[in-house]
């Protein structure tokens, strides 16, 4: 738990609980019994967060299971409705940090690419689709290394898997993304620093995506709010390896 008031709670979503393995085809394979047990534990914890209210707080938005970072919950129905409206109307400012394969040649850019569901058999998997829902993501390069880059991303919309599909589409999928572009072979390192960085990337057990910052105008306090979630340990280690390439 990071912060709370009478209406809203903010959490830093870590991923120590989440375990993802990959099958022989490189697809994610979850321990569903473990996942169901974790869901029950979370429901029990949410019950302790009522603080006199009849209902437990509820999520105003979602993160992919293996994405770390900021989560916001509404403590009652009105708060949840107000927060959902902010997300729906694009009035929540969101900043993500990511480590991607290779890296764009430009230092910044904007992706405007509509998205739709791949097909029913793929569940939540998404694809570029001219007939789909509008989706826009701004990006800026924060650091570069051999075979990897660190990006800051500012999604203007909130489509399912938006950042992941957008980055894969421009040829720079997230490190560790099993669904949209996980690389199974590491490049051959040309230096000790590259060897450390490439090994760190291959060890990374999820998509290298962190929801770092959430900001909005508080609907009852009538004040601007900003919340930042520090990098979890695995993401910090990957960034440190990348910085090693840049000295």
Residues 6+ apart with CB under 8 A from 37: none
Beta bridge pairs of residue 213: 95, 228
Of 64, 66, 177, 234, which one is the catalytic site residue? 64
State how far the alpha carbon of 3 is from the alpha carbons of 6, 94, 157, 229, in Å: 11, 17, 25, 11
> How far apart are the C-alpha atoms of 181 and 161, rounded to whole Å?
13
Q: Is 64 a catalytic residue?
A: yes
State how far the alpha carbon of 102 is from the alpha carbons of 5, 187, 208, in Å: 42, 11, 13
Beta bridge pairs of residue 10: 3, 72
Which residues are identified as catalytic?
A: 64
């Amino acid at each position: 738990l990071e912060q709370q008031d009478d209406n809203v709670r903010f959490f830093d979503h870590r991923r120590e609980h989440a375990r993802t393995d990959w099958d022989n085809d490189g697809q994610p394979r979850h321990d569903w019994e473990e996942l169901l047990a974790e869901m029950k534990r979370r429901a029990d914890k949410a019950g302790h967060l009522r603080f006199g209210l009849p209902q437990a707080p509820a999520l105003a938005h979602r993160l992919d299971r293996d994405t770390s970072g900021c989560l916001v919950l509404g403590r009652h129905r009105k708060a949840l409705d107000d927060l959902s409206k902010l997300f729906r109307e694009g009035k929540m400012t969101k900043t993500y940090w990511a480590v991607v394969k290779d890296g764009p040649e430009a230092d910044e850019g904007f992706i405007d690419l509509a998205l739709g569901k791949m097909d029913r058999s793929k569940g939540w998997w998404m694809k570029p689709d001219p007939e789909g829902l509008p989706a826009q993501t701004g990006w800026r390069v924060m650091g570069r290394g051999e075979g990897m880059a660190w990006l800051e991303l500012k999604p203007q919309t909130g489509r399912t898997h938006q950042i992941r599909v957008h980055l894969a589409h421009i040829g720079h999928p997230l490190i560790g993304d099993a669904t949209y572009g996980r690389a199974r072979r590491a490049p051959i390192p040309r230096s000790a620093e590259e060897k450390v960085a490439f090994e760190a990337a291959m060890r990374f057990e999820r998509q290298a995506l962190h929801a770092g910052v959430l900001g909005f105008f508080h609907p009852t306090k009538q004040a601007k709010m900003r919340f930042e979630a520090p990098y979890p340990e695995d993401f910090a280690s990957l960034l440190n390896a990348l910085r090693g390439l840049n000295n």
